[in-house]
Amino acid sequence: MRKMTVAEAIREALRLEMKRDERVFIMGEDVGKFGGCFGVTQGLYEEFGPERVKDTPISETAIIGSAVGAAATGMRPVPEIMFCDFLTVPMDQLVNQAAKMRYMFGGKAKIPMTVRVPVGAGMSAAAQHSQCLEAWFIHVPGLKVVMPSTPADHAGLLISSIRDDNPVMFFEHKMLYGVEGEVPDEIEPIPLGKADIKREGEDVTVIATSMMVYKSLEAAKELEKDGISIEVVDPRTLFPLDKETIFESVKKTNRVVIVHEAVKRGGVGAEIAAQIADEMFDYLDAPIKRVAALNVPIPFSPPLEKYVVPDVKDIINAVKSIAR
């Protein structure tokens, strides 16, 4: 094992896939000489050149539209949308074109494109640069949705996403880019649709995504002092969703808290809660609790931003409300 940050792990996965398959290329605003808005693609332009690390105009419609065309004609593009919020611009290309083409052409067309998208609050970037919109895309048949937490998960899942013959939305929390963790010396693909138990426990299952995995692990340490043992399950991919791992954890603990940074209303937590209630109701000994952002735009003000986004205390309170 070696130590890498999330940004370094993503960069290494991109490098490995670009070396392995000449059809893989990167495109987006400032991904080339500048190295990306968050420095993730640094050095790749110098290594692979402008044909495979393409700086684009400031047009998300052009970026995704070009990626769809490239994917449909045999390439494996990895477009980057600089902020998750800007996914509102190329929604037609994503939802009505990329997601539908394989189905509408009877399986003859493949759309192997991986859309890298920084998400999340934490840097006072305000309402138009801080959202988590992953729930929009799990609603769309034809799209796969990935949301890792650790450096190793980012690397392994990105490799699998690039190799997949379907369009994949790959959500990266911008406040995790500098987080360090162990990554295998030989990075292997991590299958899409396989959750990971980040911490085993007995009393409450906490299903957490992205940055909230770290906050849930911190909450687990605090709850342990009160004799409460929580199991932290990271779905890693939101579609396909690993219901088997989640359900097995629910069978063990009989209590569930779901944590995500996106606003609570219509969030992925609602879908997971519905599936648990629908198929695992007899195993539940308490109501399913959701911990998520308040249903407001993310404020610019640091104190207000901190108030809106879930924190460790919110997770602890939710767990205690249903713990034995």
- State the SS3 of 187-201: CCCCCCCCCEEEECC
How far apart CA 287 and CA 64 sit, in angstroms, is 41
In the DSSP assignment, the letter for residue 86 is G
How far apart CA 136 and CA 263 sit, in angstroms, is 12
Decide if 82 contacts 134 (C-beta within 8 A): no
Please give the average per-residue pLDDT across 205-217, as a whole number. Answer: 98
What is the pLDDT confidence band of residue 307, given thresholds at 50, 70 and 90? very high
What is the pLDDT confidence band of residue 324, given thresholds at 50, 70 and 90? confident
Active site residues: 129
Q: What is the mean pLDDT of the chain?
A: 97
pLDDT of 234 = 98
Exposed / middle / buried, residue 271 (Cβ in 10 Å: 0-12, 13-18, 19+): middle
pLDDT exceeds cutoff 80 at 77: yes
pLDDT of 196 = 98
How far apart CA 204 and CA 319 sit, in angstroms, is 7
What confidence tens digit (pLDDT) does each residue in 216-254 have? 999 999 999 999 999 999 999 999 999 999 999 999 999
Give, in order, the Cα–Cα distances in Å from 180 to each of 109, 118, 177: 39, 17, 8
Query: All domains of the chain, ordered by start, with CATH?
Result: 2-183 (3.40.50.970), 196-322 (3.40.50.920)
Side chain identity, residue 289: K
Task: Tell how strand 76-80 and strand 24-28 pair up.
Answer: parallel
b vs e for 65-79, b when ≥16 Cβ sit within 10 Å of the residue's Cβ? bbbbebbbeebbbbb
What confidence tens digit (pLDDT) does each residue in 94-126 have? 999 999 999 999 999 999 999 999 999 999 999
State the pTM of this model: 0.97
